[in-house]
Amino acid sequence: MAKFVYFFSFKGGVGVSFLATNTAVALSLSGARVLLIDSSLPIVGDPARLLGLFPARSFLNFYVDHQDLSPDVSLEKLSRYFSEYRLQHNSKLEYIPVILKPGDLPLLERVDPRHLLKRLGELYDFVVVDGGHNLVGFSAKLLDLANLVIDVVLPDLLSVYQSKEMLSTLAGLFLPKELVKGVLNRSASKGGVGLKEIKTILPLDIIAQIPSEGRVVGEALNFGIPVVMYEPNSKVGMAVTRLAELLLKDEDLYVPKRSLSDVEVEEEEVSALVSFWREYGFESDVEKKEQVDEVVSLKKRVHLKLVERMELRKLDFLKIETSARHELRANTERMIGEILAEELGGSLEDYEIRARLVKEIADEALGFGPLEDLLKDPDITDIMVNNKDQIYIEKFGKLQKVEDKKFISNEQVVQIIERIIAPLGRRIDESVPMVDARLPDGSRVNAIIPPLSLNGPMLTIRKFGKERYTAQDLIRFGTLTPEMAEFLKACIIARKNMVISGGTGSGKTTVLNAFSQFIPDHERIVTIEDAAELRLHQEHWVRLESRPPNIEGKGEITIRDLFRNTLRMRPDRIIIGECRSVEALDMLQAMNTGHDGSLTTVHANSPQDVIARLDSMILMSGVELPIRAIREMVASAIDVVVHTARLSDGSRKVMKISELTGLEEDMMTVRMEDVFVFVQTGVDEDGRILGEFTATGYIPSFYDEMLRRGIKLDKSVFTPKDVFYEINKKGG
């Protein structure tokens, strides 16, 4: 079995790739069979340049192509498969990068290479890893295989103290102290710190010193030839060769690692905690609950000690500046590692388990606890916490329960809620048991606690996408067609008043954000929202946000108050994030008195229901208007209704685009003409909705007006498809 030697440093630019590559070459020149793995993430390639190689394939390619490879495949076959991917530098040295480009990194992070690499290790005497200065994800899994970790240090205080921090981190994560040795690179540099002084600061066994020799190193780099081959008798070449000889001869340097396969065979020896996180599976729900409870109990004990030692209750993590926040996080993780060592007696051996425990406890102490990873997942759109034990998410339009995450207690749920709302000047307690707020990225938050919530504290987060979706994105998602997008763009430019309707989560705000990009840059836009969600593309954009009453019930600023103020701000466009109350009356009046081109969203089940919703909102204002007058105002103010819906398969569609054309003869019914519709034709075997978007053949009454304004819109976009005629024949 090969010895796994892992070169690493917390600091970039110290010569990790240079030393790993030259040491691997020196080992091979001594007759040892060596595999050099380039894992200097996120950007690999330095060892290849040092060796003059040009890789076309990576370890990730090999893993994906052979992930179904039998564990007991013969070494002869394994070597033959692997030979297609690694490059040979000389008869004894082979090289492979873990990826070829940074874009491969997300896929690599989902790969566990340890079993495959341990088997490949049977083909070599040494596996040398260029670990760069990254200690998470894939690199951490490689580190878990190491028999020896070489920390590359420079003779300057910054590098020395960073190495000291690294030792503290590794010790806190239960990696044996004797596993890590030091190599002093560029030793005897002018103005550098001496070895004696370094040893007073850094409790690390320095096994080699590599002198600085700029000319030789520079020339070797330029020619793509390792120093130990380009000029082996140089000071640098001889020092690296001596390091290689030490690695060949001194068996006491290496820490034996228990085989991963042994761990699986001897599963009885694996603690319940390791078993739980390795997802071996559980024989019964009772056993699963016991193991989950053990994890929760451990985290509670560590959390209490952490709060006591670091006085975390006095900290407002979200208000701390970014640089100080990183330092606090690092200190907290080190402290957690030390407390875990006390609690478990240093018995927890698996690096991944250690790292996950430390991360989760740090998230609970400083971040949003079990929600931290869910908030970072771009595929999750909604997070619903029903109590400490129940967390649900919406992913790809489907609701699912999160089985492997839970809060320590209901009190912790309340703490997370308070952590979210405190920076916004909001509060939640028995006197104010529900609150609306938002996260720093704009995600919408609603929280409600006992006595109003009988299940326990509840938290609902509607995540705000990090990307600004455009009309082209919506076309790509299948939300609407290019013809529909072209028509809506023309309506925006022609300053038509538009209402976007739909149910909760149907994509109203997304559609509004996407089509607001067509508002001309020279126009002044004022947006009014309860919780700021809109992200427009224009520069001249003024944002207003309402304010709830304070603890004394005073100081409330409503959407209606902001709307009235907006009329004095010389707006070209007024956008209300969501029209849900008495502000509807002011909005319709503004649309009717010169503020054309306004946009808003309304909760409604269909375009016709928009009228009924506006009726009820206007009547809520206390103004006693007859329904006929309200309907006249609505028909006169609103030009276009865009209705969205979330279908049963989780997809979001623009179901109808309709024009309001006036009142019927009874002067009570608002007349609507559908311009575009989505026609559902069925459901496939996987439950996906089948259907087509089509025009109805109706040409909007303002089409000629758009042409006079110079807005080019071909009449062919209004030509209906055959599916529309077929549905009409059936009475659909």
pLDDT tens string 351-384: 556 677 777 777 777 777 788 888 888 888 889 9
Burial label for 626, CB within 10 Å (0-12, 13-18, 19+), is exposed
Residue 358: phi and psi, rounded to 5, are -60, -45
Q: What is the pLDDT of residue 444?
A: 81
List, for residues 25-69, the tens digit of each pLDDT value: 999 999 999 999 999 888 888 999 999 899 989 998 888 888 777
| Cis bond before residue 451 (omega within 30° of 0) | yes
All residues at 6 or more sequence positions from 308 whose CB lies less than 8 Å from its CB, including other chains = none
Q: How far is CA 503 from the centre of its chain?
A: 26
Rg (CA), the chain: 32
Q: What is the pLDDT of residue 673?
A: 93
User: How far is residue 140's CA from residue 356's CA, in Å, rounded to a whole number?
Assistant: 11
User: How far is residue 183's CA from residue 177's CA, in Å, rounded to a whole number?
Assistant: 15
| pLDDT classification of 321: cutoffs 50, 70, 90 | low
Share of residues in the chain with pLDDT > 70 (%): 85
All residues at 6 or more sequence positions from 45 whose CB lies less than 8 Å from its CB, including other chains = 38, 97
| Percentage helix, strand, coil for the chain under 3-state DSSP, each rounded to 5 | 45, 20, 40
User: What spatial distance separates the first Cα and last Cα of the chain, rounded to whole Å?
Assistant: 71
Lowest mean pLDDT among 147-151, 317-321, 565-569: 317-321
Mean pLDDT to the nearest integer, 529-545 = 80
Burial label for 196, CB within 10 Å (0-12, 13-18, 19+), is exposed
| pLDDT greater than 50 at residue 276 | no
| pLDDT greater than 80 at residue 646 | yes
CB 33, CB 124: distance < 8 Å: yes
User: How far is residue 123's CA from residue 80's CA, in Å, rounded to a whole number?
Assistant: 11
Lowest mean pLDDT among 250-254, 281-285, 508-512: 281-285
| pLDDT greater than 80 at residue 500 | yes
Across 415-424, 471-480, 617-626, the highest mean pLDDT is recorded for 471-480
Q: Which segments of 345-460 does DSSP mark as H helices, in order? A: 351-366, 371-376, 410-421
Q: Which of 382, 369, 387 is nearest to 450 (CA)?
A: 387
Mean pLDDT to the nearest integer, 118-140 = 86
Q: What is the pLDDT of residue 107?
A: 80
Question: Which string of b and e fits 134-153 if b means at least 16 CB within 10 Å?
Answer: bbebbbbbbbbbbbbbbbbb
Please give the structure tokens belonging to residue 442: 């704009």
The more confident residue out of 14 and 666 is 14
Please give the structure tokens belonging to residue 315: 């900290």
Q: What is the pLDDT of residue 407?
A: 81
Mean pLDDT to the nearest integer, 540-544 = 88
Q: What is the pLDDT of residue 259?
A: 43
Q: What is the pLDDT of residue 124?
A: 94
| pLDDT classification of 281: cutoffs 50, 70, 90 | very low
List, for residues 394-453, the tens digit of each pLDDT value: 887 778 888 778 787 788 788 888 877 776 667 788 778 888 877 777 778 889 988 888
- Taking CA atoms, 427 is separated from 432, 436, 447, 553, in Å, by 7, 10, 11, 13
User: How far is residue 648's CA from residue 537's CA, in Å, rounded to a whole number?
Assistant: 32
Write a three-state SS string for 588-633: HHHHHCCCCCCEEEEECCCHHHHHHHHHHHHHHCCCCCCHHHHHHH
| pLDDT greater than 80 at residue 724 | no
The more confident residue out of 730 and 82 is 82
Q: Which of 216, 214, 198 is nearest to 206 (CA)?
A: 198
The more confident residue out of 632 and 551 is 632
User: How far is residue 14's CA from residue 166's CA, in Å, rounded to a whole number?
Assistant: 15
| pLDDT classification of 293: cutoffs 50, 70, 90 | low
CB 19, CB 49: distance < 8 Å: no
Q: Which of 515, 537, 536, 527 is nearest to 559 (CA)?
A: 527
| pLDDT classification of 344: cutoffs 50, 70, 90 | low
List, for residues 251-270, the tens digit of each pLDDT value: 888 887 644 433 332 333 22
Domains and CATH numbers, the chain: 3-253 (3.40.50.300), 275-462 (3.30.450.90), 471-729 (3.40.50.300)
Q: What is the H or E stretch that residue 87 is in?
A: strand 87-88
Q: What is the pLDDT of residue 142?
A: 84
Q: Which segments of 478-524 does DSSP mark as H helices, in order? A: 482-493, 508-515
Mean pLDDT to the nearest integer, 194-199 = 81
All residues at 6 or more sequence positions from 62 whose CB lies less than 8 Å from its CB, including other chains = 81, 82, 84, 85, 96
The more confident residue out of 404 and 612 is 612
In sign, the C-alpha dihedral spanning 355, 360, 363, 364 is: negative
Q: What is the pLDDT of residue 169?
A: 63
Q: How far is CA 314 from the centre of its chain?
A: 29
pTM of the model: 0.53
User: How far is residue 654's CA from residue 677's CA, in Å, rounded to a whole number?
Assistant: 8
User: How far is residue 367's CA from residue 349's CA, in Å, rounded to a whole number?
Assistant: 26
Q: Residue 553 in 3-state DSSP? A: coil
The more confident residue out of 440 and 392 is 392
Mean pLDDT to the nearest integer, 682-702 = 88
Q: Which of 136, 148, 149, 62 is nearest to 97 (CA)?
A: 62
List, for residues 557-581, the tens digit of each pLDDT value: 888 888 888 888 989 889 988 888 8
| pLDDT greater than 90 at residue 547 | no
| pLDDT greater than 80 at residue 331 | no
CB 60, CB 277: distance < 8 Å: no
| pLDDT greater than 50 at residue 469 | yes
| pLDDT greater than 90 at residue 729 | no
| pLDDT greater than 70 at residue 284 | no
- Taking CA atoms, 386 is separated from 428, 504, 656, in Å, by 17, 18, 34
User: How far is residue 180's CA from residue 160's CA, in Å, rounded to a whole number?
Assistant: 14
What DSSP string describes 283-333? S-HHHHHHHHHHHHHHHHHHHHHHHHHHTGGG--GGGS-HHHHHHHHHHHH
